[in-house]
Amino acid sequence: MHRRYFEHIYAEICVAVNRRIPRYDLWLLLADDDGAADELTLPQARYFVENHLSAVLAESGGSISDRARRRLEKSILRFDPHHPTPEEWLTRTFERATEQAENTA
């Protein structure tokens, strides 16, 4: 369940800087701080935002506005791994609809 924090952080940073960042480098950075990026929790995500987000953005060459940075920080910190994201919800809805269509055909 907690790996979803890592996946969310990775996706949000890539969208914010409009390019893919090195996934493994981000993984190592998060693992170095707390021991396991798989087990990332909200307090650890907050620590990342406060202490490492600027460095990750600088290394990725992503220059974003202050407003975009605040939006990125809020997106990372508001994430709840116990609830599906809109993307996950939409994917599940399409999968169910496809299954129903296949079963009725």
| pLDDT 10s digits, 35-81 | 677 788 888 888 888 988 888 888 887 778 899 999 999 999 998 88
Please tell me the pTM assigned to this model: 0.76
Give residue 1's pLDDT band: very low, low, confident or very high (50, 70, 90). Answer: very low
Measure the CA angle with vertex 51, ends 8 and 53; round to 5°.
40
Inform me whether the pLDDT recorded for 30 exceeds 90: no
Listed residue (90, 75, 65, 67) closest to 13, CA to CA: 75
Question: Taking residues 21-33, what's their average pLDDT?
Answer: 84
Number of Cβ within 10 Å of residue 48's Cβ equals 23
The total of structural domains in the chain comes to 1
Q: How far apart are CA 42 and CA 24, in angstroms?
A: 20
* Residue numbers of the domain that contains 95: 3-104
Model pLDDT, residue 57: 87
Q: Which amino acid is at 58?
A: A
End-to-end CA separation in angstroms for the chain: 35
